[in-house]
Chain A
Amino acid sequence: MAVIELNGVGKTFAGTEVIRDVSLRIEDGEFCVFVGPSGCGKSTLLRLIAGLEDVTAGRIVIGGRDVTALEPYARGLSMVFQSYALYPHMTVRDNIAFALRTARLPEKEVAAKVAEAARMLQLDAYLDRKPAALSGGQRQRVAIGRAIVRQPQAFLFDEPLSNLDAALRSDTRHEIARLHRQLAATMIYVTHDQVEAMTLADRIVVLQAGQIMQVGTPRDLYERPANLFVAQFIGSPRMNLIPGNAIGEETAQIGVRPEHLRIVPSGTGRIKGRVEFAEYLGADANVILDCGAAGRLSMRLSGQALPGEKAVIDLDWNTDLTHRFDTAGLRILSVKT
């Protein structure tokens, strides 16, 4: 297990800079999630770390060794692909054993390692089947088994849950979390789903247009987003943005999360809004309000006390739960009074 460092890494494809000056330090044993919208470069960054693509600028250092010019295998990393990439013409056993046999390990050792990986992932019953005869979840585990058996310095996951249906996704998510605990391994995980990011990560790296927007723990990102992008990317429903001048403030934009808005008696609120949609979800409800100059705001309420449509209500929120952003979209550190 090792520390992974990226120093000024950049990548240009056909004249377009898809990764720009990324510097990052991932600690030993850390579960680090790269998250961002499609096209932000998260998969590209992962592939650069893996060695499947060459960097056009910068260096990659793994365990103190500069691996920038090295082939994927020489970097000591394993990767779980989005579509699992299992060799369709080989059995599960041969799929897992492939890397070991390529390294010319003696058959006995190969068999032992395969058996151990199979046991850890409950694949014993499937060892002689071909991938086509397995379910999506089983294939995923074979892909993980193939990665584990090489005992790499770090594991790379490229959107491993996207191809699973919703029900399977949360189960598999927990399995991956359990695996991390069991192996205490460094894991880099790419996803566009912020729920996966928030629940699995020790630290999250938010990417947009090839640049890092913020790096931090899930709590950091949620409670202290460094810029507008992160503020609106993390948290669902999205954070409300109110133009400062609509409520008599000098700040360019005020951010308030939907769960921090409160209904207050008429006349005592900071904003008045008219209910446009009241979406009942059972335990929760999302209420969308048209607040005139303040824009359209969403509010999260308990499912029990829904206001009627077209009702006009007064809203307020805690000042310490306010997020302030300047004209460049950056967080203004609040001065506590």
Chain B
Amino acid sequence: MLVGAAYRRQNAVLAAPLVLFLLALLGFPAVMSLIYAASKADFETLMSPEFIGLANFSTVLTDPDFWQAAWFSTRFAVVTTLAECGLGLALAVFLAPLIRHHGWMVAVLIAPIMVAPAMMGLMYRLVLHEFVGPLPHYLYAIFGSAPSFLGVRNLFATVAVIEILQWTPFAFLLFLTAYNALPGDLREAAAVDGTRPWRMFWKIEWPLLLPTVGIALFIRFIDGFRVFDNIYVLVGPGPGGVTTSMSIYIYEAFFRAGDIGRALAAALILFGFAFAAVALAQRWQR
């Protein structure tokens, strides 16, 4: 058996590709982030940033647009997460017996998550279009009128629903897998005791699914918070920044305003928040 130095060297060789890859593509940019976040720079002065300390951070933290974006992202994440997990769980538990005999149903239901969110956004541009979109068309036919989906008052609801409809299948898949993995003898024992389905779910299956619920909530919240693609291609930052998520705020600050320092300061604040959330989640898991 290799011992001591030779062993450690071999381990280093095994880990080297990953470590170097991460250092080059993440480590170095991370350092640069810190430098630029504390500097004033735009695309012309890229190579010679001007150190201004924490000024960018205070600009960001006093920018009402930043807080609007933060608030949007939070509301968006909470609403979509709860809806996706609730619907996903309901679908998984209700359809599980049917899917046992027809496995292909899973493919049909999870098709939306194979589509790029950006493409989904473009598809909805078509679907919701007042003249050529099928949805207003059918709503007119059935109800005589259709809401203005892309009108300012409905925008939040519209983008939230789009997100929910695309990602509920993910929660569905997660819960279906967990549900099918529940030990069969628990259900059989309860059935022998004469337990009715509703009680069986609440008292026996739900407690066992709680860990998965926690995971689903966590993942969807993170993804919801950093949403970009589908909103951006559909409405962009939105009139008055009403659909500006955190990621869109950062993007706009970088590309539209060219204010690299501010964009990075916002990005670092976002990172800090995400890091804290993950650390909290891991502590809670333990």
Q: Which residues of A contact B (CB under 8 A)?
A: 51-54, 71
Contact = CB atoms under 8 A, between A and B. Distances in A.
A330 B1 CA distance: 39
B3 interface: yes
6 contacts: A51-B1, A52-B1, A53-B1, A54-B1, A54-B3, A71-B1
Contacts of A54: 1, 3
Interface string B3-33: 1000000000000000000000000000000
Nearest to A72: B1
Interface string B152-188: 0000000000000000000000000000000000000
Contacts of B1: 51-54, 71
Nearest to B3: A54
Contacts of A71: 1
Nearest to A54: B1
Nearest to B2: A71
Nearest first, the 6 A-B pairs at minimum CB distance are: A54-B1, A71-B1, A54-B3, A51-B1, A53-B1, A52-B1
What is the size category of the interface that chain B forms with chain A? under 10
A221 B116 CA distance: 74
Nearest to A51: B1
A51 B1 CA distance: 7
B220 to A, nearest CB: 39
Contacts of A53: 1
A226 B3 CA distance: 39
Contacts of B3: 54
A71 B3 CA distance: 11
A51 B2 CA distance: 11
B7 to A, nearest CB: 11
Contacts of A51: 1
A71 B6 CA distance: 13
A232 B3 CA distance: 41
A53 B1 CA distance: 7
A51 B3 CA distance: 13
B2 to A, nearest CB: 8
A52 B1 CA distance: 7
A101 to B, nearest CB: 23
A271 B1 CA distance: 59
Contacts of A52: 1
Interface in B188-245: none
A53 B3 CA distance: 11
A54 B3 CA distance: 9
B173 to A, nearest CB: 30
A52 B3 CA distance: 13
B114 to A, nearest CB: 31
Nearest to A71: B1
Nearest to A52: B1
A49 to B, nearest CB: 13
A272 B3 CA distance: 64
B248 to A, nearest CB: 49
A71 B7 CA distance: 13
A54 B1 CA distance: 7
A53 B2 CA distance: 10
B13 to A, nearest CB: 18
B179 to A, nearest CB: 32
A61 to B, nearest CB: 18
A52 B2 CA distance: 11
B46 to A, nearest CB: 52
A285 B3 CA distance: 57
A25 B168 CA distance: 68
A54 B7 CA distance: 13
A107 B1 CA distance: 29
A252 to B, nearest CB: 45
B115 to A, nearest CB: 36
Nearest to B1: A54
A219 to B, nearest CB: 38
A307 to B, nearest CB: 45
A13 to B, nearest CB: 14
B8 to A, nearest CB: 15
A98 to B, nearest CB: 20
A28 B3 CA distance: 31
A71 B1 CA distance: 5
A301 to B, nearest CB: 44
